[in-house]
Structure 1
Amino acid sequence: MKKIIYTEKAPAPIGPYSQAVLVEDTLYVSGQIALELAQSGDLKAETQKVMENIGHILAEAGMNYENIVKSSIFLKNMDDFALVNEVYGQYFTSLPPARETVQVARLPKDVNVEISVIAVA
């Protein structure tokens, strides 16, 4: 049985999907973006906000960053990898999750970065 996880501390879905879905002990968090910062030109702030959004959703499910076992990072421009990685790395100082990072042609609402995660209680 699945349970829908929702918090007002993270952006509401912009389509027919949930912020996260909990199935038994596994939480699937939809890709998070920082719409309000996408056009600011401050990729560090944008990435920070994305990670904060993920943290709020994890907290709503009774979890934290240590519960993340897998993440997927989608970048508008792979040249931004080092900058995004710098911010992302602050959340995983030990035992980081498995991860892939890919450049995509376009992201929702023309943001620069989107991150989704899977966490296990």
Structure 2
Amino acid sequence: MKREAFNAKNAPQPRGGYSQAVRLEDFQRLLLVSGQIPASSDDTVPAGFEAQARQVWLNVDAQLKAAGMTKADIVKVTTYLADRHHTSANREIRSEYLGSLAPAMTVVIAGIFDGAWLLEVEVVAAQ
């Protein structure tokens, strides 16, 4: 698969480890991962944003692994935050997980399905 990132010079530049656009060519598999919630397999929701964010990324990893993929295959991330005050912590934890990977990305401040959840993350992966 060929992956190419684009950050047009005449548009806002990305801040925080993402690309404004990602073009894929010659991929064979596409995985759409539903919004992953901050709950473990026994439905325990950790306290605090940082713990919830780490749980969400563990859940993303589990879905990728089940499909025979890894985080290196992520091409798009959409994050839903319950409160804009979590943006810095979200960026930091997401960066820990993604490392140098810079997928296309959107962050939305939204009412989340369960009031105990402080975020939800969905990803698109391709190989």
Aligned twin of 2:25: none
TM-score, normalisation: structure 1: 0.74
Matched AA of 2:77: S
Q: Are residues 1:25 and 2:21 paired?
A: no
Whole-Å separation in 1 of the counterparts to 2:101 and 2:36: 22
Equivalent positions of 1:1-121 (< 5 A) are 25-35=29-39, 36-37=44-45, 40=47, 42-104=48-110, 106-110=111-115, 111-121=117-127
Matched AA of 2:70: N
Equivalenced residue count is: 95
Q: What RMSD, in angstroms, separates the aligned Cα atoms of the two structures?
A: 1.2
Aligned twin of 2:13: none
Whole-Å separation in 2 of the counterparts to 1:108 and 1:47: 16
Unaligned ranges ≥5, structure 2: 1-27
**Rg larger in 1 or in 2?**
2
Whole-Å separation in 2 of the counterparts to 1:91 and 1:80: 16
Whole-Å separation in 1 of the counterparts to 2:78 and 2:104: 9
CA shift at 1:95, angstroms? Answer: 2.8
Identity %: 28
Unaligned ranges ≥5, structure 1: 1-23
TM-score, normalisation: structure 2: 0.71
SS of structure 1 residue aligned to 2:32: strand
